[in-house]
């Protein structure tokens, strides 16, 4: 697989449930970032985790990073219909260029 | 809140024509990027720009592509002779020197017919 591959490709849950998305990558990284994209719109930065960090929180978001397994997970707690979007992990193997995965499409039903 | 803007939102052009996609990055940002997303595929890096020169480019960014910061506020991507496979959403992004977080514009949908 290529750098920054998300799993699952699609996820459908009910409002109030938690959503977990995973990302795997192949090369060493400086940091890993998660972005959200609403249909047909630009990408919005959600959270960044550096290679020397293991876990980070921001509001309802929790991201983990395991550099030994080259994987990261994004947890959205108490999901809302407005969380419906595609979620991408982006690795930064070098200085700043982002390498994106294919994304996870999250559908949160009311 | 400051944001990255892009114009036009949708550009339709014929194969072989030149197109210029325009971006206005956030005013105090120093690093600028172009990415593209072919329909249904992942977002791909094209080029990064800092201090009035290209700092990194991908294999996609061949001689048909060029970037310019003509006036200190705009950042443009030019495709000299468009091909059908250039049809995609093109995103501009910028960041400041103190953060890795990139701010993306809403994109320009380029359709080559």
Average pLDDT over residues B79-105: 95
pLDDT band at B71 (very low <50, low <70, confident <90, very high): confident
Is the Cβ pair A41, B31 closer than 8 Å?
no
| pLDDT over 80 (residue B24) | yes
* The pLDDT of residue B12 is above 70: yes
| Contact present, B104 and B38 (Cβ < 8 Å) | no
B42 with A101: Cβ contact below 8 A: yes
For A:41-80, CB contacts with B below 8 A are 41-45, 48
pLDDT attached to residue A3? 58
Substitution target in B6, B100, B101, B106 with the highest count of A β-carbons within 10 Å is B100
Average pLDDT over residues A1-7: 62
For B84, the 3-state DSSP assignment is: helix
Q: Which of A40, A43, A48 sits opposite B100 (nearest CB)?
A: A48
pLDDT at A50: 93
The answer, yes or no, to whether residue B78 has pLDDT greater than 60, is yes
Nearest alpha-carbon partner for A73 in A26, A23, A28, A37: A23
What residues in A contact B48, CB-CB < 8 Å? Answer: 96-97
Q: For position A6, what pLDDT does the model report? A: 80
The pLDDT-based confidence of A2 (bands split at 50, 70, 90) is very low
Confirm or reject contact between A39 and chain B (CB < 8 A): no
The Cα-based distances of B15 to A8, A89, B4, B21, B35 in angstroms read: 37, 33, 28, 16, 21
pLDDT at A93 over 80: no
Is the Cβ pair A100, B31 closer than 8 Å? no
Q: Please give the pLDDT value at position A1.
A: 35
pLDDT score for A4? 64
A107 touches chain B (CB under 8 A): no
Given its phi and psi angles, is residue B20 left (phi above 0), alpha (psi -120 to 50 degrees) or beta?
A: beta
The mean pLDDT value for B24-43 works out to: 93
- Which two three-digit tokens encode residue A51? 């290679």
pLDDT band at B94 (very low <50, low <70, confident <90, very high): very high
Encode A81-102: b = buried (16+ Cβ within 10 Å), e = exposed: eebbbbbbbbbbbeebbbbbbb
Q: What is the mean pLDDT of residues B67-76?
A: 91
Q: Residue holding tokens 């994987």?
A: A71
Per residue in A32-84, pLDDT tens? Answer: 999 999 987 889 999 999 999 999 999 999 999 999 999 999 999 999 999 99
Burial B35-70 (b: 16+ CB within 10 A, else e): bbbeeeebbbbbbbbbeeeeebbbebbeeebebebe
* Minimum-distance CB partner of A88 among B43, B95, B107: B43
- Per-residue model confidence (pLDDT) at position A73: 96
């Amino acid at each position: 697989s290529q750098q920054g591959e998300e799993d699952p490709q699609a996820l459908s849950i009910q409002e109030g449930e938690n959503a977990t998305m995973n990302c795997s990558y192949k090369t060493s990284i400086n940091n890993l970032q998660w972005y959200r994209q609403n249909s047909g719109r630009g990408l919005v930065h959600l959270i960044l985790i550096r290679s020397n960090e293991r876990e980070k929180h921001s509001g309802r978001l929790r991201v983990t990073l395991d550099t030994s397994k080259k994987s990261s997970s994004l947890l959205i707690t108490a999901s809302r219909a407005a969380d419906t979007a595609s979620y991408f992990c982006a690795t930064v193997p070098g200085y700043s260029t982002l390498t994106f995965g294919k994304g996870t499409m999250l559908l949160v039903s009311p | 809140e400051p944001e990255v803007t892009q114009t036009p939102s949708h550009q339709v052009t014929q194969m072989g024509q030149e197109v210029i996609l325009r971006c206005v990055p956030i005013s105090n940002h120093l690093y600028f990027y172009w990415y593209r997303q072919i329909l249904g595929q992942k977002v791909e890096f094209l080029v990064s720009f800092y201090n009035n020169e290209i700092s990194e480019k991908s294999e996609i960014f061949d001689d048909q592509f060029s970037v310019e910061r003509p006036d200190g506020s705009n950042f443009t991507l030019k495709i000299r002779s468009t091909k059908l496979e250039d049809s995609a959403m093109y995103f501009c992004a910028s960041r400041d020197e103190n953060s890795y977080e990139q701010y993306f514009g809403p994109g320009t949908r380029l359709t080559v017919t």
